[in-house]
Structure formats: C-alpha cells, structure tokens
Structure 1
Amino acid sequence: MDPLDEVFAAMRVEQALHARLEATAPWGLHTRRIDGTTRFGLMLRGRAWLSMGDAALVQPVRLEQGDCFFIPRGAAYTLQDDIGSPTINCVDAVRNSVDGVVVIGGKDEGEQATVLSGWFHVDPHGAGALSELPPLLHVRMDDARTRMLQSSLQLLALETTRPGLGSGLIVSRLADILFVQAVRAHVQSLAADGATGWLAALADHKIGATLRLMHRELAAGWTVESLAVAAGMSRSAFAQRFRDKVGRPPLDYLAHWRMFRAQGMLRHSEQALAAIAAVVGYDSEAAFNKAFKRRTGVSPGLYRRQAKQTAAEAS
C-alpha cells in the first residue's frame, strides 16, 4: 500500500458540510476554528483575499478564479474582496442562507465572486497522520502540476450549481478527492524545495521507494541492512539519508507505522489481536501487546474498548 493511500484510507470522512457563497464587493466573511476538520474552499468566480489568524505563519493569500485552498487542522480564516473590507460572521451568514447559497456584500455594481466552501470531519486517527501538513494548502490552477484538479473542480461546481439527489454525498466525495490531489501537489513541491519529513521523503527517488516497500510489506522482518539493499545503498549511507529525509531512523519509522496500522484495525475491525499482530509484523500476541502499550500507553484491548465507547458517544 502506498503511504498516502494508507493515510487517506484511514481518514474516513465522517461528515461534510458545504455552502456556496455569492458575494458582491465590498464583502467579507470570517469563520471560527473547528477542531478535527479539514476546511476547503474553491474560487469558482472572481477574486478574494484569504487571511488566517497568525500572519507571522501564514501571510494573506490572493485567490484567483480556479484556485482552491485546504486548511487541514480546522483553523479560523477570513475571506474578503479586499484587505480591510468589513466582515460578517460565517454562522450568521449561513443561518440566512437559502438552499445552501449564502448571499453577502454590497450593491449589484460591485465586483462579484463565487466561492464554494465547507469542511469535512474525519476520523482523528487518520487525520493525525497528516500533522506535517502546513496550516494552509493553496493550489493555484495555473500551475502545470495541478491541471488534474480541473475535472474535479468542474464536477464540484456543476453539482453545487444544479444540486440533485445525493448531492451532499457527491460533494463530500469530490472534496475528499480534491484534498488528496492537493496533498499530492504539495508533496511534489516539497521535493523541489528540499524539505524534510515523511511527506517530502516520498518524492525522494531512493527513500520514497523504500517507504513504499515498507508500507507494502509491513509484516516483513526488515532490518536496516535489508532496507539498504532494497534502496541500492550502503547501510551507513542509507541510514543517514533516511534520517535526514524522514526525520527519524528507519526502524523507528517502521514501528510507528506498524502501530498506526494496528490502531486502524482495532478501531474499525473485529479481528482477533493475534491476527492483527501478524499483519503488522509481530510473531506473537504477547510481543504485539508489549510493543503497542510501549507506544500508546494502553493495551490493544483497552484501546479498542475506548475507541468503541468514543464512537458510541459521538453517534
């Protein structure tokens, strides 16, 4: 399994909401923080400024028609036709919406803009794996590597313009697809920037191939030596390059992802602990229990019971 495939499969979109904003200059909209969500927006027409709370981390971004943005950890943001334009609260605007269309702003002669925005709530276990993402993903549609987003954007615009049966489900699935594509574009940009972290390492020719091999054969008895052979490198060179690119040693990374896979299976399956232990590379249930508790602080059985209780309380 490709590492990104594994993460996105684990994310499990649980709920999605969206609205279509029709705005006439001057206009502005501010949102509140929604923890545990990924927020998104698509500039279907016109232009806008996107600002976030901490300007030292994220400078205001100019959105052009066709641009999309994702805020992976639910931070608050502001959209305006111009920096300094007055804003209204998103909650108040949505409360006055009709059929999911929010109309705000000035008189008819002002510049018009259309924004599709919303958020989707995901399983926190899967979302945690994307902690390396920046506070804001901004994808410009004039960039050659993001041309593949166009078809999804067109489908999304059509579905929100002419909603029909199952439109809510279709929009949430398309938003999910757009997020995956945006992350993929982000990974490609990291390789060009020389960034580090497991997302950036996926774009490295040798380390990326090794990461995919580890995920595909997670239960194999990997050693640093065998991984170095698979990468076509010496042991010392591989270990150093892996640490430089990923930010942790190879076997520590392997143990982390074994536990990630195990947690997902415990949360979403009824498989016996011995079967899960075998899938993630442990010879016995006892060895798996010991490793799991060392990493998470609780036993696999208790983790599964707590996850079920949390899910029941949320339903």
Structure 2
Amino acid sequence: MHVTAFGQHRLEATAPWGLIQKRAEEKVTASDKTHSPTDLAHFAMLSRGNCWLSVEGIPKPIPLTGGDCILLARGTSIVMRDSLRTRPRLSFREIGARAKSNVAHYGGGGAPTTIVCGSLSFDRANLKPITQLLPRFILIKADEARTLALHKTMQALASEMAEQAPGSEVVATRLAEVLFIQALRAHIASEWEWRNQGWLRAIFDPQVGAALNAVHDSVSTPWTVESLAAAATMSRSAFAVRFKELLGQTPLEYVTEWRMQKAMQLLQQRDKKLIDVARSVGYESDAAFSKAFKRVVGANPGEYLKRGA
C-alpha cells in the first residue's frame, strides 16, 4: 500500500466541547482528488488533556489521556468529547474546515485538550478495501508497547505538515507510511479485546495463520484445500469451516485473490511479459491467467493497465 497523509490539523479544544463523525459525513477531498469509500483511514493523537471516545458497536465509552492514539477505518462512527454529559455539536469535517494554518479552535473556554488528527489515503490498488483487511478501530494507549516511536513519528508528521517547508509533502508521505506500520505494530502488541478482528484475526490464528503464511511464502505452489489443511495441521473439513468463519471466503478463493493481488503488483512494473507474470503466480498459460484475472479483478490484464495509466 502507498500511504499518503492529508487534511492534518491540530485541534485546540476547551471544555465543554464535543465532536461527531458519521459515515455520511466522510467525503474527503485531497489534492483535488476525491477518494473512493475504500481507501481512507483517519488517525488522531491526544497530545494534551483528557476526553471520552464513543465508538459505534462498542458498548462502553473509552477514556482517553495524553499520548493515546486511535486509527479509524472509513465508515466508523465516533463521538469525542470532554464529558459524557456534553452533546456533540460539530463534525470533525466542520472543524477541519475551520482550521487556519493547520490549527483549529473550538469549545467553551474551560479545561484545554489538544488533538492532532488527519487522514490517510491508500493509493495502491487493492482487491480488498482497507476496512476488510484491518479492524475498523485501533486504540493504542500511551503506556503500551512500541508507543514511543509512534508518538515521535506523529509529532514529526504534525511538524512537517504545519511548517510546509520545501519537501514537506514528500517527507509527510514517508512519515505517514511509517506511522501506519507503527500503529499496526502497537495494535498487534496490545491486549485489547477487539484486537483480533478482520484479516489480522486470521493471521494470528495458530492454524489458519500457518496456512496463510504458506500461501504468502509460495504463491505459485498448486495449492489445494488438502495441502492447505496439512499446512494448518487440521482435517480438510475442519480447516475449510474455520477458514470460512475467519475470512468469509473459501481457502481457494483466498489463494486466487492473493495471486491476483501479486499479479497486479507485477503488472504495474511493466517490464515483465504476461506469461512470466502468469507463471510467477502459479499459472502455466497466459490464457488461463487472463481468465482468472478478469474474473477476480473485473478486467483483463491489458484493460487493467490502461485503466491505471
């Protein structure tokens, strides 16, 4: 994935204050490009003060303190406020539009809270949207493992986007990629009950994860349900049921999608013959490969390259 940060600003809030983000309010435009509903995530770090976070689908509000970070997949509705008694009146999008020199002010003049927030776009074409690959909500507490590097990256990113010095856009993009990886590392190291959701849940399953790693390590192997079950040290039937439960698709559907994902990356290099790409992902003929590619991606390899030109 190619990750780009945009729309970053610092919110200086004073109590009482409350913000809401709903699915219908997430249309975001960056660099004159409107992103599709599948390639965005939002991040925030509480750098000063305390507040409450309510996330759709999680019963209890979550208290946040200085240093806590959150990463949200697009379509995740949240409320952030100084007190559970405060009624949110503005959206994050409205506050972002108010920002001047990347700083926004909001609230009633009471206790201060500072939040650094922004969005990430994922520019590389992916068969599955980010919301299916990762949990819709990631919380990294300030006292958890790997947070020091994450906080330093967040601060560096905020500085680059605030100063707008020569080369800031390039540096900010690189920092956004690092930020995303560090957030995932900290999330994986956490003990939060919603850690193992989505694709990560399958990866960390001891048996299904072993089968997935086998596919990732050798995409050209002629995998069957039997051979994948053997890699998972499970019976064929038990493996097929568990795999479908975790990933929502059959083992061979996953193998085909992974092959096409790798093929998309190879095709974008534009220096390989079609038959070489086909053989790299386990197909003996370019015709069989092209047929599978069109079924999964929705276009044949040539059409796919023209579409992305």
TM, length-normalised to structure 2:
0.78
Query: How many corresponding residue pairs?
Result: 291
Matches within 5 A, 1:215-230: 215-230=216-231
Displacement after TM superposition at 1:113 (Å): 0.9
Matches within 5 A, 1:72-83: 72-73=73-74, 75=76, 77-83=78-84
For 2:103 and 2:211, locate their aligned partners in 1 and report how far apart those are by CA, in whole Å.
47
Matched, 1:26 2:26: no
Counterpart of 1:286, as a letter, is A
For 2:98 and 2:244, locate their aligned partners in 1 and report how far apart those are by CA, in whole Å.
52
Displacement after TM superposition at 1:250 (Å): 2.3
Change (3 A) 1:201 1:48: same
Cα contact 1:51–1:61 (8 A) shared by 2: yes
What do the CA deviations read for 1:25-67 (whole angstroms, capped 9, x no partner)?
1223445313331111011111123346xx4567643322111
Matches within 5 A, 1:195-210: 197-210=198-211
Greater shift, 210-219 or 71-80, is seen at 71-80
Displacement after TM superposition at 1:94 (Å): 3.9
For 1:46 and 1:191, locate their aligned partners in 2 and report how far apart those are by CA, in whole Å.
22
In the other structure, the counterpart of 1:292 is 293
Change (3 A) 1:156 1:22: same
In the other structure, the counterpart of 2:277 is 276
Higher helix share: 1
Counterpart of 2:51, as a letter, is A
Displacement after TM superposition at 1:188 (Å): 6.2
Cα contact 1:28–1:79 (8 A) shared by 2: yes
In the other structure, the counterpart of 2:117 is 117
For 1:23 and 1:192, locate their aligned partners in 2 and report how far apart those are by CA, in whole Å.
30
In the other structure, the counterpart of 1:100 is 102
Unmatched segments (≥5 aa) in structure 1: 1-10, 309-315
In the other structure, the counterpart of 1:7 is none
What do the CA deviations read for 1:273-302 (whole angstroms, capped 9, x no partner)?
222212211111001011122223432222
SS in 2 for 1:220: coil
In the other structure, the counterpart of 2:43 is 40
SS in 2 for 1:271: coil
Give % identity.
36
Change (3 A) 1:268 1:138: farther
For 2:129 and 2:94, locate their aligned partners in 1 and report how far apart those are by CA, in whole Å.
31
Displacement after TM superposition at 1:261 (Å): 2.0
For 1:137 and 1:189, locate their aligned partners in 2 and report how far apart those are by CA, in whole Å.
10
Cα contact 1:197–1:247 (8 A) shared by 2: no
For 1:71 and 1:128, locate their aligned partners in 2 and report how far apart those are by CA, in whole Å.
13
Unmatched segments (≥5 aa) in structure 2: 28-36
Displacement after TM superposition at 1:216 (Å): 1.6
Cα contact 1:159–1:167 (8 A) shared by 2: no
Cα contact 1:292–1:299 (8 A) shared by 2: yes
* C-alpha RMSD of matched pairs (Å): 3.3
In the other structure, the counterpart of 2:158 is 160
Displacement after TM superposition at 1:197 (Å): 5.0
For 1:190 and 1:305, locate their aligned partners in 2 and report how far apart those are by CA, in whole Å.
45
What do the CA deviations read for 1:138-174 (whole angstroms, capped 9, x no partner)?
222334xxx2022221342255358554444444433
In the other structure, the counterpart of 1:12 is 2
Cα contact 2:260–2:293 (8 A) shared by 1: yes
For 2:64 and 2:227, locate their aligned partners in 1 and report how far apart those are by CA, in whole Å.
47
Change (3 A) 1:202 1:184: farther
Displacement after TM superposition at 1:112 (Å): 1.0
In the other structure, the counterpart of 1:313 is none
Counterpart of 2:299, as a letter, is V
SS in 2 for 1:256: helix
Cα contact 1:37–1:74 (8 A) shared by 2: no
